[in-house]
Structure 1
Amino acid sequence: MCHCLAMSVSGKRIIGMPTLLLYEAEGCTALIQTRDGSIYRGIIMEVQDNWNLNMKNVTMKTKYSNEIIPFEMLFIRGAQISFIVLPEMFKHSPMFQRVIDFKNDRPCYSKRGSSLYFLDMLAYS
């Protein structure tokens, strides 16, 4: 799995590091602020590449009132998200070590001739 994620660090994949971090946050509680100033807090159930989120057990606080509105399930469109707060445990995510390795010219993915690289290309084609 290391070789797949490192490819996004080197710019050879469409999906980037923030999106990968958001995928890792599935099942965790997050705080989402939207462009209209509303704040949502709930459990991320599903993430899409365009940052669309399905959440459950959500509480919403609007910009103009202190009223808290509960939702059992909620969909937030990725284009409306302005800020996301994830749990602090993600700052120790192994993907950040891949960034450090890549910056030190020590990428952890395989060379072009290896079978792992070939299998990786088949999985994403």
Structure 2
Amino acid sequence: MSRSLGIPVKLLHEATGHIVTVEMKSGELYRGSMVECEDNWNCQLESITYTAKDGRVSQLEHVFIRGSKVRFMIIPDMLKNAPMFKRLESRIKGKVHHSVLDGDVLWPCELKLRLQVVE
């Protein structure tokens, strides 16, 4: 069985060195520069602005976030032009998947993501 990484994990690795915002399942927000990340979404941030659930804001130097506690991450918009998407787009160009349930034509998620950015 091959262990290839999915698109979200690859994109997470591309965000290393950039400013990201992480919302935790508990409602807390961390915004800072991503120093390192792992395939399980564990990540290390530095120069963080932390916003508590009650709205209080504080500054932190370093923080390590457990991936299983992450609700979502906001990454820089510029990563839509990452080389990884160019490779995927060329591989899937022209491929269309048909939905069995509703008969609609569904583009592969990589291309759909790309189209949403352009529209």
TM-score (norm 2): 0.72
Q: Tell me the distance in 2 between the aligned counterparts of 1:52 and 1:34.
A: 12
Number of matched pairs? 95
User: Which residue is equivalent to 1:4?
Assistant: none
1:39 to 29, 35, 54: 29
Q: Tell me the distance in 1 between the aligned counterparts of 2:55 and 2:29.
A: 11
Q: Tell me the distance in 2 between the aligned counterparts of 1:104 and 1:13.
A: 24
Q: Tell me the distance in 1 between the aligned counterparts of 2:74 and 2:46.
A: 16
Q: Tell me the distance in 2 between the aligned counterparts of 1:18 and 1:27.
A: 17
User: Which residue is equivalent to 2:83?
Assistant: 94
Structure 2: which amino acid aligns with 1:45?
Answer: V
Post-superposition CA distance 1:57-111 (Å, at most 9, x none): 1111112x221021100000000111111111001112112222222379xxxxx
CA RMSD of superposed structures (Å): 2.0
Q: Which runs of 5+ in 2 are unaligned?
A: 96-119
Q: Tell me the distance in 1 between the aligned counterparts of 2:26 and 2:74.
A: 17
Structure 2: which amino acid aligns with 1:36?
Answer: S
2:61 to 72, 80, 85: 72
> Aligned with 2:46: secondary structure?
strand
Q: Which runs of 5+ in 1 are unaligned?
A: 1-11, 107-125
Residue 49 (str. 1) matches residue 65 (str. 2): no
Q: Tell me the distance in 1 between the aligned counterparts of 2:50 and 2:79.
A: 23
Structure with the bigger percentage of strand:
2
Could you list the runs of 4 or more consecutive aligned residues of structure 1 that deviate by over 4 angstroms after TM superposition?
none
Residue 22 (str. 1) matches residue 33 (str. 2): no
Q: Tell me the distance in 2 between the aligned counterparts of 1:40 and 1:61.
A: 7
